[in-house]
């Protein structure tokens, strides 16, 4: 028996039970008041019919969502013009719990919001404090009430999400429901990948990329080695974003990342590659599985925290996101097949990214170094070697490429032979050359060794060849390689001698004065007031100026009082020469 048939049977039985109820003498039938509702006679006929659909005696699981769906479908084209001046504020709002005025007020609200969305108006401008009305409208879209095409419903959900971005609760809920909406109504994944990336625990698209890359490296390392440096660059950003999405380490806020973004992408790519190979060579299944464990099925709650009725009732349905993540429904029960990200996974990814940041700063001689915190010295060594390999490959890629037109080599050879023949000396011109024991020629000014003549000829031939090569080949390929600088990541620190350092800081005179006052323990608020300065802005610029050198903010606020962090006082004095 279908669920609809069951609900209808129970509804008929409930009506029969009501007919059997009799009142004793002295009492008359009168309408009951449920929370101040007006009598149905004051409602338009369509609304009265809608209210009659609901069976208050039905207490089965999911009955609330079932009747919401039936009532919504019955009213999906209804429009109302009713000025409601009250307030409606409920958790899990439905039609049934509304008073008559609230019900008419909702359909008036829905009429306006549909026009507002179509005309690209401001949704929150008239939602006001009746946010529960907005949730009822969102529930309707999730149930495809008033929606002919699911892709149109998805567009409406996106519009509401964007316009309600300032309301954290609505934004978070609707972001998760959009993912479920795409899966439930089988909307193509490709155009909507951004919504799955926002919540890596739900999507698995990032994990899928990491898993496939790890598998490729372990099965055939040559495929990676044969990639050009430019092809590796194309992979590097996507891999960085994938592993960074499951990390708590704010790598993108690092000063080194901001100055050397592409180098960070490539460094992470090389490190992940070497770590994968290291785990394979030492008998582990894979580096990826070491972090994220085994793939398996998990029960999945579709449209969690929403009033939603599973009206499609799928028996055998699969929605695949990646090789490591898919959602499927079997006999109306939903599951998610994926690796599950847990606290251990997040911790491991965070530690690895921080160690990469620390070692790259050291290798690139960038700013203030990070303190070592990574406990696994073996993996730290693997990361160190991987970054060295990246730097070597980067230097090779930066060297200019020399291209020679092979088709012109024969012409160059022919010209060189002609030049050589013209330079050959006829030995018959010299007397007694063949009888000379010391192989010398008398020129009247002394004696010249014969082998010197041969060397002279060879030198002239070589010069002619060199001129010819320069003329026939691309002049840009003749580069003085000693003049090429391939030192990566040079920062703002320049050594003057062994004991002294010069620093470049983007710091104003007022900023330097305030910094010195803080070192002296003097109240800087008075100075800021006398010089018409906004203290918070000056402090922010000081922190920004020192961030490249220290790698952290050096001044914090205690209430409205700026305080120089004690750990950095020595560094600050050194930098400003105090």
Residue by residue, pLDDT tens for the chain (578 residues) are 555 555 555 555 555 555 554 544 454 555 554 444 444 557 899 999 999 999 999 888 889 999 999 999 999 999 999 988 888 888 899 999 999 999 999 999 999 888 877 665 555 555 565 789 999 999 999 999 999 999 999 999 998 888 888 888 889 999 999 999 999 999 998 788 778 764 444 445 677 788 888 888 888 777 777 788 888 888 899 899 888 888 889 898 888 999 999 999 999 999 999 999 898 888 777 888 888 888 888 899 999 999 999 999 988 999 988 777 889 999 889 999 888 778 888 899 999 999 999 999 999 998 888 899 998 899 999 999 999 999 998 888 887 766 666 666 667 777 777 777 666 655 454 444 444 444 444 444 444 444 555 555 556 555 655 555 555 544 444 433 333 333 333 333 332 333 335 566 777 888 888 888 888 888 888 888 888 788 888 888 888 888 777 877 888 888 778 888 888 888 888 888 77
| Cα–Cα nearest to 541, from 510, 502, 566 | 510
Burial call 148-163: b when 16+ CB within 10 Å, e when fewer:
eebeebbebbeebbeb
All residues at 6 or more sequence positions from 138 whose CB lies less than 8 Å from its CB, including other chains: 157, 160, 174, 177, 306
- How far apart CA 369 and CA 550 sit, in angstroms, is 8
Q: What is the pLDDT of residue 489?
A: 34
Strand intervals (E) in 97-200: none
CA distances from 107 to 10, 81, 134, 152, 156 (A): 29, 8, 11, 21, 18
Q: What is the pLDDT of residue 272?
A: 92
Are 142 and 306 spatial neighbours (Cβ–Cβ below 8 Å)? yes
Strand partners, 563: 556
Are 260 and 364 spatial neighbours (Cβ–Cβ below 8 Å)? yes
- First-last CA distance in the chain: 86
Instruction: Look up the CATH architecture of domain 493-576.
Output: Orthogonal Bundle (1.10)
Q: What is the pLDDT of residue 152?
A: 93
SS3 1: coil
Q: What is the pLDDT of residue 508?
A: 82
All residues at 6 or more sequence positions from 10 whose CB lies less than 8 Å from its CB, including other chains: 55, 57, 58, 60
Q: What is the pLDDT of residue 33?
A: 44
Q: What is the pLDDT of residue 443?
A: 45
- How far apart CA 560 and CA 364 sit, in angstroms, is 38
Are 341 and 201 spatial neighbours (Cβ–Cβ below 8 Å)? yes
All residues at 6 or more sequence positions from 398 whose CB lies less than 8 Å from its CB, including other chains: 484, 486
Q: Give the other-Cβ count within 10 Å of 506's Cβ.
A: 11
Q: Give the other-Cβ count within 10 Å of 375's Cβ.
A: 9
All residues at 6 or more sequence positions from 374 whose CB lies less than 8 Å from its CB, including other chains: 351, 352, 354, 355, 358, 380
CA distances from 189 to 40, 183, 322 (A): 46, 8, 10
- How far apart CA 327 and CA 337 sit, in angstroms, is 6
Are 212 and 204 spatial neighbours (Cβ–Cβ below 8 Å)? no
SS3 329: strand
- How far apart CA 203 and CA 100 sit, in angstroms, is 42
Look at the block and give the residue holding tokens 């018409």.
532
Look at the block and give the residue holding tokens 């990070």.
370
Residues of the chain with CATH 1.10.10: 493-576
Q: Give the other-Cβ count within 10 Å of 71's Cβ.
A: 21
- How far apart CA 265 and CA 257 sit, in angstroms, is 9
């Amino acid at each position: 028996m279908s669920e609809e048939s069951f609900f209808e049977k129970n509804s008929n039985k409930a009506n029969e039970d009501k007919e059997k109820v009799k009142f004793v003498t002295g009492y008359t039938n009168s309408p009951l008041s449920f929370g101040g509702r007006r009598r149905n006679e004051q409602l338009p006929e369509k609304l009265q019919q809608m209210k009659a659909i609901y069976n208050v005696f039905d207490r089965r699981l999911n009955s609330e969502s079932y009747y919401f769906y039936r009532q919504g479908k019955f009213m999906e084209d209804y429009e109302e013009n009713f000025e409601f001046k009250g307030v409606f504020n409920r958790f899990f709002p439905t039609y049934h719990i509304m008073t008559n005025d609230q019900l008419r007020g909702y359909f008036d609200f829905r009429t306006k919001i549909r026009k507002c969305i179509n005309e690209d108006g401001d949704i929150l401008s008239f939602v006001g404090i009746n946010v529960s009305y907005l949730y009822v409208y969102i529930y309707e879209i999730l149930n495809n009430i008033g929606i002919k095409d699911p892709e149109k419903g998805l567009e409406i959900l996106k519009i509401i999400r964007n316009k309600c971005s300032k309301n954290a609760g609505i934004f978070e809920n609707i972001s998760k429901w959009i993912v479920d909406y795409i899966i439930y109504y089988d909307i193509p994944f490709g155009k909507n990948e951004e919504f799955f990336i926002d919540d890596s625990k739900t999507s698995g698209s990032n994990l899928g990329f990491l898993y496939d890359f790890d598998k490729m490296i372990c099965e055939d390392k040559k495929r990676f080695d044969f990639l050009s440096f430019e092809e590796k660059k194309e992979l590097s950003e996507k891999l960085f974003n994938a592993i960074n999405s499951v990390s708590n380490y704010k790598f993108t806020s690092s000063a080194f990342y901001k100055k050397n973004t592409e180098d960070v992408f490539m460094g992470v790519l090389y490190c992940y590659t070497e770590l994968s190979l290291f785990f394979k060579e030492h008998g582990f299944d894979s580096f990826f599985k070491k972090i994220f464990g085994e793939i398996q099925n998990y029960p999945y709650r579709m449209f969690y925290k929403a009033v939603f009725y599973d009206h499609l009732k799928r028996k055998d349905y699969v929605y695949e996101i990646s090789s490591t993540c898919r959602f499927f429904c079997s006999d109306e029960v939903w599951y998610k097949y994926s690796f599950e990200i847990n606290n251990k996974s997040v911790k491991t990814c965070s530690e690895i990214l921080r160690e990469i940041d620390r070692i790259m700063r050291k290798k690139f001689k960038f700013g203030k170094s990070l303190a070592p915190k990574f406990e696994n010295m073996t993996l730290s060594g693997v990361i160190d070697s991987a970054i060295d390999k990246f730097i070597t490959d980067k230097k090779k890629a930066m060297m200019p490429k020399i291209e020679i037109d092979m088709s012109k080599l024969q012409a160059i050879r022919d010209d060189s032979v002609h030049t050589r023949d013209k330079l050959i000396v006829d030995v018959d011109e010299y007397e007694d050359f063949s009888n000379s024991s010391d192989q010398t020629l008398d020129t009247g000014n002394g004696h010249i060794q014969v082998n010197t003549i041969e060397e002279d000829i060879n030198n002239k031939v070589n010069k002619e060849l060199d001129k010819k090569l320069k003329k026939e080949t691309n002049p840009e390929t003749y580069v003085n390689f000693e003049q090429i600088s391939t030192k990566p990541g040079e920062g703002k620190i320049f050594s003057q001698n062994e004991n002294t350092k010069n620093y470049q800081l983007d710091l104003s005179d007022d900023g330097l004065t305030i910094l010195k006052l803080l070192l002296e323990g003097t109240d800087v608020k008075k100075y800021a007031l006398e010089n018409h300065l906004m203290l918070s802005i000056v402090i922010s610029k000081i922190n920004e100026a020192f961030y490249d050198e220290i790698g952290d903010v050096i001044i914090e606020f205690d209430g409205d009082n700026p305080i120089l962090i004690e750990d950095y006082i020595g560094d600050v004095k050194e930098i400003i020469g105090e």
